[in-house]
């Protein structure tokens, strides 16, 4: 329903307060096992719910909210709920919050989620458990909408990158999608700054022999905040495609022009000059 401008929507105070109060005691512990990293930009509607879920992922965990470019109460809500809040007045840029959050994390396992995605914490535990039991990078097995002839460009890019990395078993799983978790070693091998370009990070992880697995499926497509087509969706698509090409470029320059795939014994010289 359309609301006349100037009239603020009244939040459901009663429910919100009750949930906050019960978690007020929760503070990031000193030696966390799990760091939950939540980049957020103007997500006051959902951040509370997301942090609440994050606290339940592990007994010893910290929640890091990278509040960037916020003009609403996102950071305050996060602080009230006991999260460690990194405040940036300027917007950091798509996925850059992940890199910044990873830099600040002190846990053994880093779990990345989005601030706009309400999700049962039990989903999240699968990723943490996988990393705790030896996987270096635990990805969401969700493939995106694939029941069409021609899939979305981003879905196509993810599948193709995995094939190029000789990991077609991962299908459409990607670091681009949340939730995903990785251990500290993976962050160090990849370099936290590269987490801002998720496909590149994935290419680096696979290339350096990290154990990457798609461990659990969370159909995040339906959970994403609905945004109008005008609000940068097409631009985002371009950035994600661009990221995949960058990843491919890196991978091919670090392997060979064929990405390590066989030539099946082609006798190319026979063509002659």
Are 216 and 119 within 8 A, CB to CB? no
Counting contacts by CB under 8 A, is residue 222 touching other proteins? no
Element (H, E) at 61: strand 61-68
Residue whose CB is less far from other proteins, 31 or 148? 148
Given the rule CB under 8 A, which of 19-27, 28-36, 105-113, 144-152 is the region that contacts other proteins?
Answer: 144-152
Counting contacts by CB under 8 A, is residue 155 touching other proteins? yes
The minimum distance between CB 28 and other proteins, in angstroms, equals 25
Residue whose CB is less far from other proteins, 23 or 239? 239
Residues near 39 by Cβ (< 8 Å), separated by ≥ 6?
Answer: 65, 66, 68, 92, 95, 96, 97, 98, 100, 101, 114, 115
Q: Mask 195-214, x = binds other proteins (CB under 8 A)?
A: -x------------------
Counting contacts by CB under 8 A, is residue 266 touching other proteins? yes
Counting contacts by CB under 8 A, is residue 223 touching other proteins? no
Q: Compute the distance between CA of residue 146 and CA of residue 137 in angstroms, rounded to an integer.
A: 24
Counting contacts by CB under 8 A, is residue 143 touching other proteins? yes
Kindly tell me which residue out of 37, 157, 178, 215 binds other proteins, with binding defined by CB under 8 A: 157
């Amino acid at each position: 329903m359309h609301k006349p401008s100037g009239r603020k929507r009244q939040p459901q105070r009663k429910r919100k307060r009750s949930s906050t109060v019960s978690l007020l005691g929760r503070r990031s512990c000193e030696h966390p096992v799990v760091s939950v990293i939540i980049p957020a930009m103007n997500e006051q509607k959902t951040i509370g719910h997301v942090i609440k879920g994050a606290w339940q992922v592990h007994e010893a965990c910290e929640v890091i909210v990278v509040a960037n470019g916020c003009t609403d109460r996102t950071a305050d809500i996060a602080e009230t709920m006991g999260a460690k809040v990194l405040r940036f007045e300027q917007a950091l840029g798509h996925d850059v919050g992940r890199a910044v959050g990873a830099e600040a994390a002190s846990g053994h396992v880093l779990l990345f989620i989005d601030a706009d995605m309400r999700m049962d914490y039990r989903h999240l535990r699968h990723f943490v458990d996988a990393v705790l039991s030896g996987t270096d990078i635990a990805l969401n097995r969700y493939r995106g909408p694939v029941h069409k002839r021609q899939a979305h460009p981003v879905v196509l890019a993810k599948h193709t990158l995995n094939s190029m990395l000789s990991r077609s078993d991962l299908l459409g799983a990607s670091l681009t999608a949340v939730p995903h978790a990785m251990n500290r070693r993976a962050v160090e091998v990849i370099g936290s700054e590269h987490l801002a370009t998720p496909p590149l990070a994935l290419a680096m992880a696979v290339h350096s022999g990290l154990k990457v697995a798609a461990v659990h499926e969370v159909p995040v497509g339906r959970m994403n905040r609905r945004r109008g087509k005008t609000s940068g969706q097409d631009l985002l698509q371009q950035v994600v495609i661009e990221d995949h090409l960058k990843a491919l470029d890196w991978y091919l320059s670090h392997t060979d022009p064929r990405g390590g795939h066989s030539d099946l014994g082609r006798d190319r010289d026979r063509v002659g000059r």
